[in-house]
Amino acid sequence: MTSQCHRRDFVKLGAAAGTAWALGRRSLAASTSAMSAGPLEQVRVGMVGIGSRGTFLLSLLLEQEGVAVKAVCDIISERVAKAQDMVIAAGQPQPTGYALGETDFKRLCETEELDLVVNATRPWKWHVPISVAAMTNGKHAATEVPAAETIEGCWELVETVEKTQKYCVMLENCCYFREVLLVHNMLRQGLFGELRHCEAGYQHHSRRARPAATPAPQRGDIRTANSYPTHPIGPVAQWMNINRGNRFDYLVSMSADGTQGNPSADINTSLIRTVAGQTVTLYYDTRLPRPYDLIYRVQGTAGICMATADKIYIEGRSPQPDTWESMEAYYREFEHPLWKELGEQAAQRGGHGGGDWLVIHRLIRALQTGTPPDMDVYDAATWSCITELSEKSVADRSRPMDFPDFTKGRWQADLLGCGSPRPGKGWNASRPDQAMHGCRSSPRHHAVGGRQSGFKVEPEIVSREWGVDAAG
């Protein structure tokens, strides 16, 4: 480590840093820009899209300390009135309502004094326009998944963030599931050895779940794709340090034929390879009868687990050679610090096992403490672009499709000047202790301009997670 990043300074920074605490990662958007989102005692929110999902997110926002919902927007006036009643019932003044058509969100963004615009609209084609309108009018943006339906839309979000210096966060709740955070913690502590492969999928029979939208056919052709990739790929990308020392390189995809009368594929399977030589198998399976399962399989040189099936095997640790065991004991020993502190509260509130509450809580707390959110626009773009990449690959006999580098090379740079290794001799992004070894905090990660907020900065993992030299 350099003299600017010796251990005592690192710990001081870590005590104030709120972003990498939970996921052991830094916000590339904040690290590479001049963002100056200072701490906010009150986060003023505008809500766009008050359907079933938007109504639930609004209820979660109203439960957060220090949140004031100032505006609500929907194309259906009755929904706007219902949202206004919810806000009043929560003890806040009636928010301004916007219901003058599909583009009335522009008026909200242009006229309201807000810190954050949260977007839960369907169809998904509105996700990019709403996020862009928010940022270009000086507001941070948070969008339901996917952040964009096309690669062009992903680039528009990235470029708008870089131009406006506002955050754009995709509300990927699966990244906060208890089993996902457990696996993340075990990976960072080396239980699996070097990470080689992950498997995940959105597997949910659509007759018993709200079906995900599928991409519109292009040029008159019937196209199939992984049209809902972010739930499975989000946790996997975090486990693999994607955009933070590693990145997705290319993808190949194929689809099974649709059943009679169904022009869309029943099952899509995609394979992804990282620049570190790891692989990912990704499924999209919503049209055939089956139990719900995201899989979340992790395989390394020292062990393997299938998180949603509660199965794990660690070489030299599991009781029987080559035999699965329950993950119960691992929860007791390796529970993620975030879940230790907030898991009970999140689980009691509900919403995908507490993931919904945590994704909202963590975003609001980041704004309140002046720290970058856990996920940034580069995550949103990288995870969302899989839909178009898989669509193109399927249409061309599974031809490999390169992932765009939305970071423009910054995924591999020593962004903070604290000795993070670049690809080269001895570098191995599959090893969590090397992928982003060294200082991961920066002045952008704590209160800007010396201002402090009254909100507590929640747990983070410092030395053990990143392999910081204890004698450094």
Give residue-wise pLDDT tens across range 418-429: 223 333 333 344
Q: What is the pTM of this model?
A: 0.84
> Does residue 23 lie in a domain region?
yes
pLDDT per position as a tens digit, 168-219: 999 999 999 999 999 999 999 999 999 999 999 999 887 655 544 444 444 4
* pLDDT reported for residue 444: 30
Q: Report the C-alpha gap between 426 and 433 in whole angstroms.
A: 12
Q: Answer yes or no: are the C-beta atoms of 445 and 369 closer than 8 Å.
A: no
- Measured in degrees and rounded to the nearest 5, phi and psi for residue 114 equal -130, 160
Neighbours of 251 (CB within 10 A): 24
* pLDDT reported for residue 457: 64
pLDDT per position as a tens digit, 32-70: 544 656 899 999 999 999 999 999 999 999 999 999 999
> Does residue 52 lie in a domain region?
yes
Q: Report the C-alpha gap between 356 and 340 in whole angstroms.
A: 17
Sheet holding 116-119, edge to edge: 96-98, 67-73, 43-48, 116-119, 140-143, 168-170
Which tokens go with 73? 């927007």
What DSSP line would sit under 94-152, residue for residue? PPEEE-SSTTHHHHHHHHS--SEEEE--SSGGGHHHHHHHHHHTT-EEEEPSPS-SSHH
**Based on the structure, what is the number of domains in the chain?**
1
Burial class (CB in 10 A: 0-12, 13-18, 19+), 332: exposed
Q: Report the C-alpha gap between 28 and 71 in whole angstroms.
A: 30
Expressed as residue numbers, the domain containing 166 is: 18-173
> Does residue 40 lie in a domain region?
yes
> Does residue 324 lie in a domain region?
no
* pLDDT reported for residue 289: 85
> Does residue 213 lie in a domain region?
no
* pLDDT reported for residue 263: 61
Low-confidence ranges of the chain (pLDDT < 70): 1-37, 207-223, 259-265, 414-472
> Does residue 457 lie in a domain region?
no
Neighbours of 41 (CB within 10 A): 10
Half-sphere exposure at residue 396, Cβ-oriented, CA atoms within 13 angstroms: 11
Q: What CATH number has the domain bearing residue 63?
A: 3.40.50.720
- Helix (H) / strand (E) containing 311: strand 311-314
> Does residue 275 lie in a domain region?
no
> Does residue 322 lie in a domain region?
no
* pLDDT reported for residue 223: 61
